[in-house]
Structure 1
Amino acid sequence: MAAKLTLTTFLTLDGVMQAPGAPEEDTRDGFAYGGWQVPLVDEDMGKYMSEVFGRSAAFLLGRRTYDIFAAYWPEVTDPDDPIAGRLNALPKYVVSTTLREPKWRNTTVVATDVPAEIARIKERTGDGELQIHGSGDLARSLMAHDLIDEYNILVHPVVLGRGRRLFPDGGLPTAFEQTASRTTARGISIHTYRPAGRARFGSFALDA
C-alpha cells in the first residue's frame, strides 16, 4: 500500500502562506510581514501539529523550507519532542536542482522527473504519510498534477494584503471534500480536505 501524500500549510485569511515563522524567513518580492503566525500560536495548534507529525513516515520538502528546517530542527535534540524527533529520524526528500551534499541526516535529493520519483517514494514509504510542510513552490507544482491526496490548511485570523499564496491564478479548478475541522483558542481554523475531482458549476437563474 502506497503512502498518502499530504500537505500541511499555514495561511492568512487572504490566502498568503509566505514567511509565517520569522521576518527574515522569506523576503522575496519585498515581503515585509514575515512572522505573522507567531502571535497566533497557541496550545491547541501545538497539539494539532503534534498529531500531524505523529502520522508521518517520511517528508517531502522544497529547497527553501528544507533549508529553514535544517537550520533549526537538528538543534532540538530531545528525542521525545513530537516534531523534532520525527523530522530528525525519518527519511527526508528535498526537491532541488542545486543542492549537492545535504548535511541533515536521512536526506535524499530529488532533482529530476519529480512526479514519477514521488510516485516511487510513496510506494517505498508504504503505511503512514509522506508529508509536505510549507514548500509553496513545490506544492503548487504538485497540485498542477493532482498529486496531493490530502490538505491540512490552518487559516489564521489575519489579512496581509500581499504575499505569495498557496492557490495560484490559473490553477486547476478542483472540488474538495472536507473531512475534518476544528478551531483553536486564538481563532486558527483548521480544515482537512481531500480532492474530489474537477470543480462543477451551475446557475441560480430562474427557470423561464
Structure 2
Amino acid sequence: MGTITVHEFISLDGVYEDPSWTFEHGFDPRMGETLGAITGAATAILLGRRTYEMFAPAWSTRTAEEDPGAPFFNDTHKYVVASREPSTDWGPSTTLPYSQDAIRGLKESTDGTIYVSGSGTLVRALLRDGLVDDLHLFVYPVARGTGARLFDDGGAPTSLTLKAHDVYDNGVVHLDYGPA
C-alpha cells in the first residue's frame, strides 16, 4: 500500500501561492538532498489540475543535465485530480475525480510513495480527509501578507505530529509532520 507525501514551500504566514518569492532566499544544497530523498521513494505523482498545467510546460522540456529532478517529474506516472481533463498532456498521466474512495484506491494500488507538490486545494482536501501520511513544509523566513494559504480561514482544525526537522543556512526550516 502506498503512502501520500506532500511537499510545500510556504511563508511564515502560511502562503504557498506562486512560490517565485522563494528565489530571493536561495536554495541550500541540503534542501535539494531532502527533496531528493522525498522524491526518491516516490513511484507516483498526485497533482491538482492547475498545478499539473503549470508544471507541464516547466518540466516537460527539462533534461537531467539541466535539472536532476527532470527524469522523476517527466517519467513518473502522474495522477491528476480534476473534474475535467487538463488542457495539456504531459508524460504518463491519468485523470481522476476527487473522492476519498478514489484516493484510497490509488493508495491501495500503489507500491511506494505518492508525491504531491503544490496543489493547495487538493492538499487541503487530503488533510481534511486524513489521507496525508507525510507533510513536508519548507518554511521560508518571510511573511507574505497576502496570497493563498495552505491552512485557510474557516478550515477544520488539523492536528499533526512532528516527525523530523532541519534548519538550512538560508534560514529555511524543514518540518516533517505526520498524522497525530
Contact 1:174–1:195 (Cα < 8 Å) also in 2? no
* Code of the aligned partner of 2:113: E
Q: Does 1:163 align with 2:147?
A: yes
Corresponding position of 1:8: 7
Corresponding position of 1:75: 61
Q: Shift of the alpha carbon at 1:174?
A: 2.7
Question: What are the ranges of 5 or more consecutive residues in structure 1 without an aligned counterpart?
Answer: 21-34, 197-208
Equivalences for 1:74-93 in 2 at 5 Å? 74-78=60-64, 81-93=67-79
Question: Of residues 67, 74, 91 in structure 2, which corresponds to 1:105?
Answer: 91
Q: Secondary structure at the match of 1:142?
A: helix
Contact 1:79–1:85 (Cα < 8 Å) also in 2? no
Structural RMSD (CA)? 1.8
- Which structure: larger Rg? 1
Q: Quick one: distance in 2 between partners of 1:37 and 1:100?
A: 27
Question: What are the ranges of 5 or more consecutive residues in structure 2 without an aligned counterpart?
Answer: none
Q: Does 1:96 align with 2:95?
A: no
Flag the 1:115–1:43 CA change in 2: closer, same or farther, 3 A: same
Q: Secondary structure at the match of 2:149?
A: coil
Q: Quick one: distance in 2 between partners of 1:81 and 1:73?
A: 9
Q: Percentage identity across aligned positions?
A: 36
Corresponding position of 2:136: 152
Corresponding position of 2:16: 17
Q: Does 1:47 align with 2:33?
A: yes
Contact 1:95–1:114 (Cα < 8 Å) also in 2? no
Contact 1:144–1:172 (Cα < 8 Å) also in 2? yes
Q: Secondary structure at the match of 1:116?
A: helix
Q: Secondary structure at the match of 1:11?
A: strand
Q: Shift of the alpha carbon at 1:170?
A: 2.5
Count of residue pairs brought into register by the alignment = 179
| Relative contact order, higher structure (CA 8 A, sep 6+) | 2
Question: Of residues 115, 121, 124 in structure 1, which corresponds to 2:106?
Answer: 121
Q: Quick one: distance in 2 between partners of 1:100 and 1:8?
A: 22
